[in-house]
């Protein structure tokens, strides 16, 4: 079982959607987690709505800190825009995806970020 961790600042949008896509496309061989360097404590309703359009219930997720996640090591730790604020987490490989924070976007623009995340997760899973 390979463990993947997706980290962004608030753990309310990008990392939550990445975790969901890893679960959707990774099957039984993947354990996917997400966390934030400064978690907001909520999953953005826009992210929940956007993922619901694809048939995934993101409302079951919780926004949490990197201090609350399962211990590593991870196969991959993927950061998304938290830069120097992300603590070091043991992993075989660290990757940084430069993905804009969609929290202030609406509708189609938000979904463009969602789709970008899905594409990157699929590519990462294919490389394993």
Backbone angles phi, psi at 68, to 5 degrees: -105, 0
pTM tops 0.75, yes or no: yes
Catalytic residue list contains 82:
yes
User: Does 8 participate in catalysis according to the annotation?
Assistant: yes
Q: Which among 80, 86, 124, 125 is annotated as catalytic?
A: 86
pLDDT per position as a tens digit, 16-69: 999 999 999 998 989 999 999 889 999 999 999 999 999 999 999 999 999 898
Kindly report the CATH number that applies to the domain delimited by 2-122. Answer: 3.40.50.2300
Report domain extents, the chain.
2-122
Q: Are 63 and 43 in contact (CB under 8 A)?
A: yes
* Distance (Å, whole) CA 115 – CA 47: 12
Question: 5, 7, 8, 66: which one is catalytic?
Answer: 8
Strand segments, DSSP code E, in 1-128 are: 2-8, 30-36, 74-79, 91-96
Give tens-digit pLDDT for 82-125.
766 677 788 999 999 999 999 999 999 999 999 999 999 999 99
- The single residue of 7, 18, 66, 82 carrying the catalytic annotation is 82
Active-site residue 86, yes or no? yes
């Amino acid at each position: 079982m390979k463990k993947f961790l997706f980290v962004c600042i608030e753990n309310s949008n990008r990392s939550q959607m990445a975790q969901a896509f890893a679960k959707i496309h990774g099957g039984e061989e993947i354990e996917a987690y997400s966390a934030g360097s400064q978690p907001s404590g909520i999953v953005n309703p826009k992210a929940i709505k956007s993922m619901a359009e694809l048939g995934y219930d993101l409302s079951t997720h919780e926004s949490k800190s990197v201090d609350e996640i399962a211990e590593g090591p991870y196969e991959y730790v993927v950061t998304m825009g938290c830069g120097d604020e992300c603590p070091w987490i043991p992993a075989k490989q660290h990757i940084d995806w430069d993905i804009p924070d969609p929290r202030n976007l609406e509708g189609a623009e938000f979904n463009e970020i969602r789709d970008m995340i899905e594409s990157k997760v699929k590519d990462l899973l294919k490389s394993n």
